[in-house]
Structure 1
Amino acid sequence: MTKNFSTFDGGTVGVTRFGYTVEFHYRNAAGDTVATVEMSDDDAAGLFEALDAITA
């Protein structure tokens, strides 16, 4: 299952879990792929925790 989030500049971030890894797929406002990042589930959890602290 992929969750998609909008960015402030009109792009999107798709987050997909594959077993013990998480993939972040970044697209610009035109829909072009900018980057794809794969990280472990633990690293992704740490990233989400850090983002929650900033945006809370």
Structure 2
Amino acid sequence: MAVPKRKTSKAKTGSRKSANMKMGAPGLSICPQCHEPKLPHRVCPNCGYYDGKDVVNEN
């Protein structure tokens, strides 16, 4: 079984971890009702519609 010869330094560990922690821009979709950009699979913050139904102003 392989065993590390030396302790991995905090700088080496941090630089390795930070290479995989890049944030990307969120993917946006267009609302079919008001044609504003919104996050996919979420209620449109502008008009309140989701899947063709008015879910925010529903009573």
Q: TM-score, normalised by structure 1?
A: 0.26
* Structure holding more strand per residue: 1
Q: Which is higher, the Rg of structure 1 or of structure 2? A: 2
* Higher RCO (C-alpha under 8 Å, 6+ residues apart): 1
Higher helix share: 1
